[in-house]
Amino acid sequence: MRKALVLCLLNFFLLPALHSQEAPAAPSVRFLPRAEARTALTTGAERGYYARLQPAEMRAKTGLPLQNVTLETAREQVREAYGAEVEDFTADEQAALREAAAGLQSVLRAKAPLYARTPWSFIKVSAKIEGGLPHTRGDHIVLSDTVLTGIMRLHARGPFTAPIGLWNLLVHEQTHVLQRRHGDLFAGFYTESLGFRHVVWAPAPQWLLERGVVNPDAPDADWILPIGDGAARRWILPYVLLTSLDHPRMPDDFDIVALDLEEHAGSWTLADRSMPAAFHELESLPEYVRAFPDQDEVFHPNEISAGLLAAILSGSKITHPEHALWSKTRAFADRALK
């Protein structure tokens, strides 16, 4: 997972800009002031995010020690920390993001009009939360001061209308916003094109809860994918785990693993009941890896679809262009994202 996240950020900062294109009317872009942003992050519709966090994960995402406190107190301290790290956008940051969104508008109107009709809403935070990585909360894209520093360095080279790396980042995050707004629409893509199946499985055992990581852009870790045929067929549950519980760092100590699930009388459970159960590195399963053309963030259909759509809509370089998922993704965009 660390490699995928690093590559994503490198692509964002290093991909070159294209020539200017004539842009349509400016899209709707909002930059939440600090007080409103704090509310959106801490008491908004997705406040339930904090109720799912476990101690080691919270330490990784905030740097707080969280020693000798109850789980409920730790979650409240983390919620307060997220609110405390909200910042106001500078005028230059707002101008750069408006310019990037405006440059994207004509592309989105032509390729996926649903994106063009969806307002952009941004929250700024310090890099002390979520490892400084871009993510979303509700209808808002959350950018850290570190990411914004990179955007401003890019913008300082001159006005940009088509910075492909930044476009890729923005479309990726806006896809997560659309996934919340149009869950049924995307669920069909996950099952029909990506091959995933959504299941209800037994509550995660304590060892898994202690090590698990909740992705704010893909909190529902209940999507499984079949690999193999016949008697060798297995159902794989990708899962993000911490490799260190004492002083974990985000994303350095995150790992993506594959857990085997099996079905009994309509109920799904871990195939291995050991404590902890056996698992594999997700990237060590060739059949799983080959199911997708791009190997970055293939641990959840939310992230996989965001990566595919961001590449197609932003004009990023397409890896393994012969892979069937590219044509399926384009067909989905043409049909469902009008």
- Could you state, in order of their start, the residue ranges of all structural domains in the chain? 2-170, 187-336
Task: For residue 203, say if its preceding peptide bond is cis, omega within 30 degrees of 0.
Answer: no
Phi, psi of 84 (to 5 degrees): -70, -25
| Residue 181 pLDDT exceeds 60 | yes
pLDDT tier, 293 (very low <50, low <70, confident <90, very high otherwise): very high
User: What are the tokens at 273?
Assistant: 């009941």
Between 277 and 32, the higher pLDDT residue: 32
| Residue 223 pLDDT exceeds 70 | yes
What whole-number percentage of the chain has pLDDT above 90? 81
What whole-number percentage of the chain has pLDDT above 70? 93
pLDDT, average across residues 132-146: 97
Q: Are 27 and 105 in contact (CB under 8 A)?
A: yes
Angle value at C-alpha 253, between 166 and 69, nearest 5 degrees: 110
pLDDT at residue 315, as a whole number: 94
Exposed/middle/buried for 286, CB within 10 Å: 0-12, 13-18, 19+? exposed
Alpha-carbon span 310 to 226, nearest angstrom: 25
User: What are the tokens at 33?
Assistant: 């002031």
pTM here? 0.91
